[in-house]
């Protein structure tokens, strides 16, 4: 499994190792998040040749402090990948989500077979919608499980 790391002005994004993902799952107290992280690890293990499309990506500042994480929810045969992301409460509102999503999406769109990146956000999550807009996403007109879907080609 190749370890991918992306650098931005303030951040380093990298694919977590299996051990790191297991530790994240162990520490997670929110049952829904725990389930989502477990699905990421399962996908990572089931697709070793494409693990980066299933894994948890750590989002850390250059000083090593973790500010959040993100993931792609698998690699679809139609050339789409979906991104999900979260920033730890105390680091929200500082532009970290925009910086991380922009870097991850730019990387994804350069990968073979990727035609578009999609995202979904709850209708009342205005902060997440602003992040998507700043990263070049536009509404797709589709409503998903969590709310409106957005796309960047």
pLDDT of residue 2: 67
Name the E strands within 1-152: 5-7, 11-15, 56-61, 66-75, 80-87, 116-120, 138-143, 148-152
Q: pLDDT tens-digit profile of 76-114?
A: 999 999 999 999 999 999 999 999 999 999 999 999 999
Specify the pTM.
0.95
Q: Give 129's contacts (C-beta < 8 A, 6+ positions apart).
A: 121, 148, 150
Measured between alpha carbons, how far is 150 from 142 in angstroms, rounded to an integer? 8
Q: Which CATH number among 3.40.190.10, 3.40.630.30, 3.40.50.970, 3.20.20.210 corresponds to the domain 5-116?
A: 3.40.630.30
Q: Enumerate the domain spans of the chain.
A: 5-116
Instruction: Yes or no: say if 70 and 81 are a contact pair by the CB < 8 Å rule.
Output: no
């Amino acid at each position: 499994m190749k370890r991918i790391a992306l650098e931005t002005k303030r951040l380093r994004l990298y694919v977590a190792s299996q051990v790191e993902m297991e530790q994240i799952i162990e520490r997670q107290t929110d049952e829904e998040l725990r389930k989502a992280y477990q699905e990421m690890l399962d996908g990572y293990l089931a697709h070793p040749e494409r693990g980066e499309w299933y894994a948890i990506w750590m989002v850390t500042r250059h000083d090593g402090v973790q500010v959040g994480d993100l993931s792609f929810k698998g690699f679809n045969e139609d050339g789409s990948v979906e991104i999900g992301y979260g920033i730890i409460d105390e680091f929200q509102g500082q532009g970290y989500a925009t910086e991380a999503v922009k870097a991850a999406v730019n990387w994804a769109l350069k990968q073979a077979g990727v035609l578009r990146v999609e995202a979904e956000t709850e209708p009342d999550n205005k902060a997440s919608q602003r992040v998507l807009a700043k990263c070049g996403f536009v509404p797709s007109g589709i409503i998903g499980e969590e709310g409106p879907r957005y796309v960047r080609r």
